[in-house]
Amino acid sequence: MASLPTGIRLITSFTRDQWYRAFIFILTFLLYASFHLSRKPISIVKGELHKQCASHDKVKLNILNENAFHDPAGKISDNETHCGWAPFDKKNYQQLLGALDYSFLCAYAIGMYLSGIIGERLPIRYYLTFGMFASGAFTTLFGLGYFYNIHNFGFYVITQIANGLVQTTGWPSVVTCIGNWFGKGRRGLIMGIWNSHTSVGNILGSLIAGYWVSTCWGLSFVVPGIIIASMGTVCFLFLIEHPKDIKCSSTPLISSKGHENGTNRFRVQKQILYTKESSKNLISKQDPEIQSLLSDGENGTIPPKFVTVLHGDGGNGMAAISFVGALRIPGVIEFSLCLLFAKLVSYTFLFWLPLYITNVDHFDAKKAGDLSTLFDVGGIIGGILAGVVSDRLGKRASTCGLMLLLAAPTLYMFSMVSKMGLEATIVMLLISGALVNGPYALITTAVSADLGTHKSLKGNSKALSTVTAIIDGTGSVGAALGPLLAGLISPFGWNNVFYMLMVADATALLLYGKISCVWADVL
């Protein structure tokens, strides 16, 4: 009997469950990468919407050639000038571009709080598919402003607001799905690798948008819009929400018996007043990081307070947790506030880095967009490194705190070194990307999943979507503030923008030190 080929032996060495789990890992990775791919074009196109007016005659000639594409007479529109695309050709262009970012991110932050609550009450596959189709439509609509020669600022703002709202369907959905399929044992590593979809999407979005930005910037939005809509079709056809849907063995998220046959489903939320003695017992069973969050710093106990627990009634399903119930989970509020400042830094780089490189290093929009992808390459490395270290140490907050401690001086070095040449800029982009995106990636994935499957929930996995939405929604408030502040501060000098980022990073670090004793762990 002939031996099996090596490839077949490799395939059969994995179980059916492992193949399905790998498939869901890759599918959700690609789905959310397409969300970030569709968000990136606006940062690349900024340098084209407002051009440097160094040579009036030369740029005017270019505009004549470009307008010939959609105006056979070659006549320059009254609204379009040699400084870029009206209304972004005025001196207040930085405030206008900042308003576009703020419109998207503010809508995203507000919508995120509602998205998790809605998402856990609807089938994930349908909810995510709708969000991807809608995101594709609004991303494409922004690009159509180029082809239809639209110069109304309100049009672009409304498009950004609508896109921000529908994009909130993505994150709670994919995190809930990946949380259903993967256990907690090596969650930091798994989530660290998986969360690199953010940086991969940013890189692809930068390259795609950069390809057309100097010739036809409308395609920089239309093509990503088509891609995310196409991925929505893939989501509808292939996404499997839970292992039990195809009779796969589920890797348990918590140690509990009786959950598989439905005899111990938890439907009723009840308030129970814990005594001081029961609080001690509760703390003794918590992870070290959660102990520090619950501790009052003197005798290691928590003051009496209401704790949400879920009781079973023998039903066949789980009730979705309330918004207030999710806030009662230890650590949710604290990590949400920390993410606010961490995400402020990360999203300021996401939306303003290409324009900064254009102004400081005097590259065109395409080269600046390509160079900015190195920040996301560093983000991939930082996210994976943060996951591995947190798994090995068993301390998520300490890992985040250490990276934030190193990020603050790195940001200052970046503002100084980036003016010294291309080579120095490349090195600092990689280092800054790793230290800035590492904590952000860890909180939005592994920490959110840990809290969403916390033992106080007694097995109610439906809380994961709401917890994820609360944490990322609060972080998105910082994501909205960062680009807005950058737009307001940058006219007074880019150094002032970096000072703002360093203050935000230091604030996040101080919050970690206050709520989870990071200083003691790090130092």
Q: Does residue 107 form part of some domain?
A: yes
- Of 114, 107, 98, nearest to 135 (Cα)? 107
How sure is the predictor about 66, in pLDDT bands with cuts at 50, 70 and 90?
very low
In angstroms, what CA-CA distances link 126 with 30, 129, 233?
A: 17, 5, 10
Q: Residues for the chain: how many in total?
A: 523
Identify the pLDDT of residue 456: 52
Give the integer Cα–Cα distance in Å for 402 and 512: 10
Long-range contacts: 328-331, Cβ < 8 Å, 24+?
329/451, 329/452, 329/454, 329/456, 329/457, 329/463, 329/467, 330/286, 330/290, 330/293, 330/294, 330/451, 330/454, 330/456, 331/289, 331/290, 331/293, 331/447, 331/451, 331/454
Region of poorest pLDDT, from 61-70, 295-304, 352-361, 395-404: 295-304
Identify the pLDDT of residue 92: 84
Region of poorest pLDDT, from 21-30, 161-170, 261-270: 261-270
Identify the pLDDT of residue 191: 75
Q: Does residue 289 form part of some domain?
A: no
How many Cα atoms occupy the beta-carbon half-sphere of 87 within 13 Å?
13
What's the number of domains the chain is made of?
A: 1
How sure is the predictor about 463, in pLDDT bands with cuts at 50, 70 and 90?
low
In angstroms, what CA-CA distances link 238 with 118, 243, 481?
A: 22, 13, 37
How sure is the predictor about 359, in pLDDT bands with cuts at 50, 70 and 90?
confident
Average pLDDT over residues 284-311: 42
Identify the pLDDT of residue 483: 84
Domain that holds residue 212: 14-51+89-244+320-520
Residue 315 has pLDDT above 70, yes or no: no
Identify the pLDDT of residue 186: 58
Q: Which residue has the higher pLDDT, 310 or 94?
A: 94
- Dihedral sign (CA 99, 101, 103, 109): negative
Residue 312 has pLDDT above 70, yes or no: no
Q: Give the tens place of pLDDT for each residue, 407-416.
A: 888 888 887 8
How sure is the predictor about 372, in pLDDT bands with cuts at 50, 70 and 90?
confident
Q: Give the tens place of pLDDT for each residue, 478-501.
A: 888 888 888 888 888 888 888 898
DSSP H/E element including 30: helix 16-39
Give the integer Cα–Cα distance in Å for 279 and 496: 47
Q: Does residue 288 form part of some domain?
A: no
Q: Give the tens place of pLDDT for each residue, 324-347.
A: 777 777 667 777 888 888 888 888
Q: What is the DSSP letter of 312?
A: E
How sure is the predictor about 144, in pLDDT bands with cuts at 50, 70 and 90?
very high
Give the integer Cα–Cα distance in Å for 115 and 131: 10
Q: Does residue 100 form part of some domain?
A: yes
- Of 200, 179, 514, nearest to 337 (Cα)? 514
Tokens 């990946």 -> residue = 178
3-class secondary structure per residue, 101-138: HHHHHHHHHHHHHHHHHHHCCCCHHHHHHHHHHHHHHH
Give the integer Cα–Cα distance in Å for 194 and 32: 10
The answer to whether the CB of 308 falls within 8 A of the CB of 269 is: yes
Q: What is the DSSP letter of 50?
A: B
Phi, psi torsion values for 241, nearest 5 degrees = -70, -40
Tokens of 114: 């509602």
Residue 253 has pLDDT above 90, yes or no: no
Q: Does residue 404 form part of some domain?
A: yes
Q: Does residue 354 form part of some domain?
A: yes
How sure is the predictor about 306, in pLDDT bands with cuts at 50, 70 and 90?
very low
Identify the pLDDT of residue 514: 56
Q: Cβ-count burial of 463 within 10 angstroms (0-12 exposed, 13-18 middle, 19+ buried)? A: buried
> Looking only at Cα atoms, what is the longest distance across the chain?
84
CATH number of domain containing 213: 1.20.1250.20
Q: Does residue 283 form part of some domain?
A: no
Q: Does residue 357 form part of some domain?
A: yes
293: alpha, beta or left? (left if phi > 0; alpha if psi -120 to 50): alpha
Give the integer Cα–Cα distance in Å for 50 and 56: 13
Residue 389 has pLDDT above 90, yes or no: no
- Dihedral sign (CA 494, 500, 502, 508): negative
- Of 167, 166, 106, 113, nearest to 471 (Cα)? 113
The answer to whether the CB of 454 falls within 8 A of the CB of 329 is: yes
Identify the pLDDT of residue 296: 40
- pTM of the entire predicted model: 0.70
How sure is the predictor about 465, in pLDDT bands with cuts at 50, 70 and 90?
low
